[in-house]
């Protein structure tokens, strides 16, 4: 989570919403890391999770990340939650809960749908105070 | 939808699940087109819709595709349905319904969540017979 928080801080420094993610391989080593890049890339789907998943899959040369884990500073949105399932991530660890935009414990609760083919193990609220503080500081500095 | 079906056929010819998508600009012209590339790109998120959305946003140099429409041969999965919302697509037109993997009229029904910030107009079942026939032929040829 330290590495994911570092990615979130780097995103904030670029003017992006501070969310960071890391993909860990089956042995625990870091396969890929990313921060939010929606503005820099002109890409509304360039969330930290999706970027890290794609980079890890490129590195593994496989569209499925069997036995890999994803660590992210914020509860994934429905898009990223479904992508985590499509990439066959084993365990999802996230920081702050996101009642407004989350898709795991809130909103459409992607893994609760009976049509969901692969459900990762989910551990939420890990260092949520640090993750939430980054987000609060970012939005506070942006609002008049 | 003719253009989206052509992308779906091209995907099948590459050994990919035959789904194709086109993004139309506010004036009705084609901004981007794509077929499924999950195997070719080693990317479980390389669905036709997400690829076409990203390409259109790159072309517009904006993470939001205001006034643009997406035409796709199959009901989008939950990941793509949420991406369509994040990119602020005005109207979603899709072909075949997907009771197993769809996320618009099936599964988590992304646009029905109260937390969904942007709901496109949705028109489903457009030339669904042609779209479904492509998918059926593809899976029939692959199964022993």
pLDDT tens for A65-116 read 999 999 999 999 999 999 999 999 999 999 999 999 999 999 999 999 999 9
- pLDDT number for residue A144: 64
Q: Could you state, in order of their start, the residue ranges of all structural domains in chain B?
A: 1-139
A49 is catalytic: yes
- pLDDT number for residue B144: 64
- pLDDT number for residue A141: 84
Q: Pick out the residues of the known binding site of B for Zn(2+).
A: 47, 77, 80
Count of residues making up chain B? 144
- Asked if A115 lies within 8 A of B109 by C-beta distance, the reply is no
pLDDT of A143 strictly over 80? no
pLDDT tens for B95-144 read 999 999 999 999 999 999 999 999 999 999 999 999 999 999 999 987 76
- pLDDT number for residue B141: 84
pLDDT of B17 strictly over 70? yes
Contact B90, B113 (CB under 8 A): no
If you classify domain B1-139 with CATH, what class do you get?
alpha beta
Q: What is the ipTM of this complex?
A: 0.93
Q: State both tokens at A85.
A: 């399932």
Pairing status of strand B20-24 against strand B30-35:
antiparallel
Side-chain half-sphere of B20: how many Cα atoms within 13 Å? 25
CA–CA gap between residue B102 and residue B127 (Å, rounded):
17
Residue B53: which of B38, B36, B31, B75 has the closest Cα? B31
- H or E stretch including B78? helix B78-86
Minimum distance, in Å, between the CA of residue A15 and any CA atom of chain B: 14
pLDDT tens for B44-100 read 999 999 999 999 999 999 999 999 999 999 999 999 999 999 999 999 999 999 999
User: In A1-144, which ranges are continuous DSSP H helix?
Assistant: 2-13, 48-60, 78-86, 128-142
- Asked if A63 lies within 8 A of B116 by C-beta distance, the reply is no
CA–CA gap between residue A54 and residue B144 (Å, rounded):
32
């Amino acid at each position: 989570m330290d590495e994911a928080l570092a990615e979130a801080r780097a995103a904030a420094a670029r003017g992006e919403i501070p969310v960071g993610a890391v993909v860990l391989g089956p042995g625990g080593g870091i396969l890929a890391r990313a921060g939010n890049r929606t503005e820099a890339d002109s890409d509304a789907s360039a969330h930290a999770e999706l970027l890290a998943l794609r980079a890890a899959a490129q590195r593994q040369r496989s569209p499925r990340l069997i036995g890999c884990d994803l660590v992210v500073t914020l509860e994934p949105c429905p898009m990223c939650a479904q992508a985590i399932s499509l990439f066959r991530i084993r365990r999802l660890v996230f920081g702050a809960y996101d009642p407004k935009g989350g898709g795991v414990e809130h909103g459409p609760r992607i893994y609760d749908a009976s049509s969901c083919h692969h459900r990762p193990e989910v551990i939420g609220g890990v260092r949520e105070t640090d993750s939430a503080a980054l987000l609060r500081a970012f939005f506070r500095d942006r609002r008049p």
